[in-house]
Amino acid sequence: MGSISRKDFLRLSALMAGAAAVPRTIRASAGTLALPAMPQRGAGIEADLIVINARVLTSDPARPRAQAFAVREGRFLAVGSNADIRNLASRRTRVIDAARMTVVPGFIDTHNHPRGVTELFDVDANLRSIGALKAAIAKKAATTPPGFWVDAYMFDDTKLTDGRPLHRRDLDEVAPNHPVGVHHRGGHTGWYNSQAFALAGITKDSPDPTGGRFFRDPDGTPNGWVAELATDVFDTVGKRDVFTPEQERDRSRRGMAHISALYTASGLTTVHDLSAGVDNIRAYEDVRAAGELRHRAYLMIRGKAFPLLRDAGVRTGFGDEWVRVGGVKYAADGSASERTMRMSTPFVGTSDYGILTMTQQEIHDAVDDAHSKGWQVGIHANGDVTIDMVLTAYERALAQWPLADRRHRIEHCSLVNPSLIARIAKTGSIPTPFWTYVYYHGEKWERYGDEKMQSMFAHKSFLDAGIKVPGASDYGPGPFEPLMALQSMVTRRDFRGHVWGANQRVTVDQALMIATQHGAYASYEEQLKGSITAGKLADFVLLEKDPHDVDPNTIKDIRVVRTVTGGKTVFPKGEA
């Protein structure tokens, strides 16, 4: 157990105890469930809910379109015509007349970082000018004792309108007596002031650590921008607010309830949590117990929670249909949005190839340990160099411990080539490329160039290779709204109108499959969710318009009218 305390072990064991009766490993076979025969009136089967007069886009190849469906005890009971479904209604059945609006399966985001704490309690750095950022930091510093950290989150350097980058001197001007950290929404870089550098002992003579970088002025002095593992030097210096265990637990519960409401308002009904540690697991349980968990969660475990669960004999699939243990998560290179991912060719106009954060041996060790003990593995690998390293480890582990249908994941899998795609298909690996990035982060792709972008976020190439590629926002780094994702994948057009990699465009129907059924496949749950099919969980979204019928460049503006999880309306709040 190493440094894991008995207290931590008992706490995590207690959190997972509620799922003890559930089979520990899902072994879902490929394909969709056969549609059961339509129940008949008088058969003693009554629906709790029916939805009629809808344009139902089922994501089920056996019945791609329908008019109506019925729900009983949280699952789809039947899918068919208005007349068929009306036969299943009784006086107690709730009826939703969709008035020809569109219904789709609940959207699934397979790479997200839900917590909600920073959104509720910390300085919001999602601002568009250095002046506005300085004002927000100054306001926080005014109520923070000297020597204590002032942290701001969700900063995005390329969204600034000042025409120059943020510098440590900007932070010194408004908080000279506090260490300051301004954290990029991508989570891989930050900007720090002079006091923070002084506390960490970093000077112009300090070398860059392995797997990290201090960006510098021409004379070698750090300019404030710090990347990847180099940010670790600030973790143990200075003073930070300290909360009691009860306060931490309350903050986590409130944050998770907040983010769950936001997700379902956008149409998300399942979110894969790629930062699931002990505190996150506890937050899910607390929010669920309070009746505030609106979305389903698939937990990719990080940190000390993994050895706790592994050594307790827990494996991928443990849990229930609301909260389930997925795989274990590692990170092997830098960021796409922060321009630090490790590639075989440099960023445009530079000799910078990006940053690795794991060695090949470290990747081998991590994969061998998890794979041999029945765990799915997900490794963050953006660049083609890193993807090759991850696939090398997966190929080795599968050869040593053969396991059919393991579905190891390559998180982000941003820059690919035909050879890598063929290896992904052969190993049965799951790539999870960004699905809102082309639209939202368009100005960043100039650092990659048009040619390289033809091979980035390659949903179409994956589909052409027979790979069931899902969608992934990576929120906070990218927006989580699934309708923006559909638009981004269909158009490959950024917010300014520039098209990046038109060869990777997909159809609306393909985008919907990526957002639903393929998302379920990434967690071995394609027989449980991901389509409007009799027997599956009744997760669905009512849209004001059909994405097929609108200008593709306006898909993101379609209004989400209702989100339903397990047959219960979770958005709007207060609806039956």
What pTM was computed for the model? 0.92
- Kindly tell me the burial class for residue 219, based on how many C-beta atoms sit within 10 Å of its own C-beta (0-12, 13-18, 19 or more): exposed
Does residue 146 register a pLDDT over 70? yes
**Residue 399 in tokens:** 């050869």
The widest CA-to-CA distance across the chain, in whole angstroms, is: 84
β-pair type (55-57, 65-66) = antiparallel
What would the pLDDT profile of 12-46 be if each residue is shown by its tens digit? 555 555 443 333 334 433 333 334 454 554 456 89
Q: Which tens digits make up the pLDDT trace of 191-207?
A: 999 999 999 999 999 99
| β-strand partners of 299 | 273, 325
Kindly state the average pLDDT of the residues 159-183: 97
For tokens 């368009």, name the residue: 442
Q: What is the mean pLDDT of residues 124-128?
A: 96
H-assigned helices in 266-406: 278-289, 305-311, 360-371, 384-400
Half-sphere exposure for 562 (CA within 13 Å, toward CB)? 19
pLDDT at 36: 46
Q: For residues 541-556, b (16+ Cβ closer than 10 Å) or e, as one string? A: bbbebbbeebebeebb
Q: How far apart are the first and last CA of the chain?
A: 47
Bond preceding residue 163 cis, omega within 30 of 0: no
Q: Which of 159, 216, 161, 158 is nearest to 192 (CA)?
A: 216
Q: Please report how the helices 508-515 and 482-491 are oriented relative to each other, as an axis angle in degrees rounded to 10.
A: 140
Give backbone dihedrals phi and psi of 278, rounded to 5 degrees, phi first. -60, -45
Query: So what's the pLDDT on residue 39?
Result: 56
| Rounded average pLDDT over 554-566 | 98
CA angle 342, 114, 388 (to 5 degrees): 20
Peptide bond preceding 207: is omega within 30 degrees of 0, i.e. cis? no
Provide the token pair at 195.
């006091």
Average pLDDT over residues 62-90: 97
CA distance linking residue 474 with residue 412, whole number of Å: 8
| 213: its two tokens | 């970088």
**Token pair of 356 as six digits:** 């690795």
Partnered with residue 380 across adjacent β-strands are 331, 411
Given pLDDT bands bounded at 50, 70 and 90, which one contains residue 312? very high
Q: How confident is the model at residue 1 (pLDDT cuts 50, 70, 90)?
A: very low
- Sheet strands side by side (includes 68-72): 75-80, 68-72, 49-52, 94-97
Q: How far apart are CA 415 and CA 447, in angstroms?
A: 13
Residue 313 has pLDDT above 60, yes or no: yes
C-alpha distances (whole Å) from 237 to each of 180, 195, 196, 211, 214 are 12, 10, 8, 20, 17
Question: Each residue of 247-296: pLDDT tens digit?
Answer: 999 999 999 999 999 999 999 999 999 999 998 999 999 999 999 999 99
For residue 45, give the DSSP letter: -
Give the per-residue pLDDT at 14.
Answer: 53
Beta strands at 102-105 and 55-57: parallel, antiparallel or unpaired: parallel
pLDDT of residue 115: 87
382 by DSSP, 3-state: which? Answer: coil
SS3 68: strand
For helices 384-400 and 360-371, the axis angle rounded to 10 degrees is: 40
Reported as a single tens digit per residue, the pLDDT across 395-423 is 999 999 999 899 999 999 999 999 999 99
Sorting pLDDT into bands at 50, 70 and 90, what band is 576? low
The whole-number pLDDT of residue 575 equals 75
User: Which token pair is 443?
Assistant: 């100005």
What does the pLDDT look like over 423-448, one tens digit per residue? Answer: 999 999 999 999 999 999 999 999 99
Mean pLDDT score of the chain = 93
Distances in whole angstroms, Cα of residue 35 to Cα of each of 70, 423, 527: 13, 34, 12
| Mean of pLDDT values over 170-186 | 97
- DSSP secondary-structure letter at 129? S
pLDDT bin (cut points 50, 70, 90) of residue 574 is confident
Above pLDDT 90, what percent of the chain? Answer: 90
